[in-house]
Amino acid sequence: MSILTVPRLRRSGRDWPGHRLVVADELPLDCGAALGPFTIAYQTYGRLNPERSNAILVCHALTGDQYVADPHPITGHPGWWTTLAGPGGVLDTERYFLICANVLGGCMGTTGPREINAATGEAWALDFPVITIHDIVRAQKLLVDRLGIEELFCVIGGSMGGMQVLQWASSYPDRVFAAVPIAAAARHSAQNIAFHEVGRQAIMADPDWCGGRYLKEGRNPSRGLAVARMAAHITYLSEAALHRKFGRNLQDRNQITYGFDADFQVESYLRHQGSTFVDRFDANSYLYITRAMDYFDLAAEHGGSLPAAFARRQPRFCIISFTSDWLFPTSESRALVHALNAVAANVSFVEIETDKGHDAFLLHEPELFATLRGFLTGCAEQRGLPRFWT
């Protein structure tokens, strides 16, 4: 193994904890180009057992990153899946070895549009090739290969993370024992493409975007990126959750002010979501990753047949949706279940009743925890994993 473990990854004047794997080989991409050399930044939690059979690959969502269970190096906030990951947790780091890699095209250390293009000595910007979910998974597979893991015990992820889970199951089914796509779909819907396009246009409309060359120009399209985040954030919640959390409550005032300040709590909340996001995310990465999601269509890769995408012997599936998720509604998960049933795959499907919307997979959702714990425990027994291996 030629893993380069760098205790501190120095970038943009900021230090953060992280591992880094330099993959010297070229990565062939769906667009026809090849990328190389390139870097995958990743985190791990727990320890790989001697049999290398207890690895869980966690796939992050659009604006996620590899910091699943430790503080984010920029914001200082706890890891994004500490509801699940940790000692004794559902993703029990005393039992499993968790791996999470920043996606290709991302902005937390893995090669993406804000990293340096060796050919020019400047940031890639829009010269970075347009990537797909399959490309993201190809890069993850290289990492898994380098870690010497023949079969992942589980691949799990929500939203775009779930798309990656599905791509793993379709493209590398012999490398996955169990697959858990949460709040996901086998293809991105017209409505979802539309919301992504609004976000991209908001970024591109910002003069500080500079045709994508903002790093070179010393600028940052933070206003456009904030608007993109605000629009997207509404889609992550449900109408009921927004009503429950905010309703028409006013922000630090007793009556409306007849102006354009944030009179309502929901306005203040959204503005906060937008302004904090730009501190940790790259605008061009947002363009590339949303595009990868738009392009995702597993059936299209197989002549329009979703069952054909799962024609090879499949891992055990646990498919989870949320009743109030209108971004990736239950109907999308049902379509997956039907396709997997058509190839006689081993599928468990749970629709969880919640008003929290799409983001429920990131929140305190006891039925989600119980479902995952049950499924993983059952799979671990089938796989013969000890409760504690140390």
As given in the structure block, the two tokens for residue 127 are 């010269």
CA distances in angstroms from 335 to 228, 321, 346, listed in the order given? 29, 12, 15
Closer of 5 and 254 to a copy of itself (Cβ)? 254
Closer of 222 and 314 to a copy of itself (Cβ)? 222
Contacting residues for 389 by C-beta, under 8 A, at least 6 apart: 47, 49, 54, 95
Closer of 43 and 132 to a copy of itself (Cβ)? 132
Encode burial over 49-62: b for 16+ CB neighbours within 10 A, e otherwise: beeebbbbbbbbbb
Amino acid code (one letter) for 381: E
Minimum gap (Å) between residue 243 Cβ and a copy of itself? 5
Residues identified as active-site: 159, 325, 358
Minimum gap (Å) between residue 132 Cβ and a copy of itself? 8
Minimum gap (Å) between residue 226 Cβ and a copy of itself? 7
Helix (H, G, I), strand (E, B) or coil at 117: strand
Among the listed residues 343, 356, 330, the one whose alpha carbon sits nearest the alpha carbon of residue 239: 356
As given in the structure block, the two tokens for residue 342 are 């058509």
Distance CA 42, CA 353 (A): 33
Closer of 89 and 113 to a copy of itself (Cβ)? 113
Distance CA 161, CA 163 (A): 5
Closer of 34 and 370 to a copy of itself (Cβ)? 34
In this structure, the number of other CB atoms found within 10 A of the CB of residue 345 comes to 20
Closer of 230 and 350 to a copy of itself (Cβ)? 230
Closer of 92 and 263 to a copy of itself (Cβ)? 263
Q: Are strands 38-45 and 122-123 parallel, antiparallel or unpaired?
A: unpaired
In this structure, the number of other CB atoms found within 10 A of the CB of residue 87 comes to 11
Closer of 139 and 237 to a copy of itself (Cβ)? 237
Q: Which residues bind a copy of itself (CB under 8 A)?
A: 30-32, 126, 129-130, 187-191, 193-195, 197-198, 200-202, 204-207, 223-224, 226-227, 230-231, 234, 237, 239, 242-243, 245-248, 256, 258-260, 262-264, 266-267, 270-271, 274, 287, 291, 294-295, 297, 300, 326, 329
Contacting residues for 372 by C-beta, under 8 A, at least 6 apart: 84, 90, 91, 156, 180, 318, 320
For tokens 């380069």, name the residue.
4
Distance CA 43, CA 58 (A): 10
3-state secondary structure labels for all residues of 115-162: CEECCCCEECHHHCCCCCHHHHHHHHHHHHHHCCCCCEEEEEEECHHH
Largest CA distance in the chain: 66
Minimum gap (Å) between residue 358 Cβ and a copy of itself? 13
**Sign of dihedral through CA atoms 363, 366, 367, 370?**
positive
Encode burial over 174-191: b for 16+ CB neighbours within 10 A, e otherwise: ebbbbbbbbbbbbbbeee
Minimum gap (Å) between residue 75 Cβ and a copy of itself? 21
As given in the structure block, the two tokens for residue 275 are 């302004």
Minimum gap (Å) between residue 353 Cβ and a copy of itself? 18
CA distance from start to end of the chain: 23
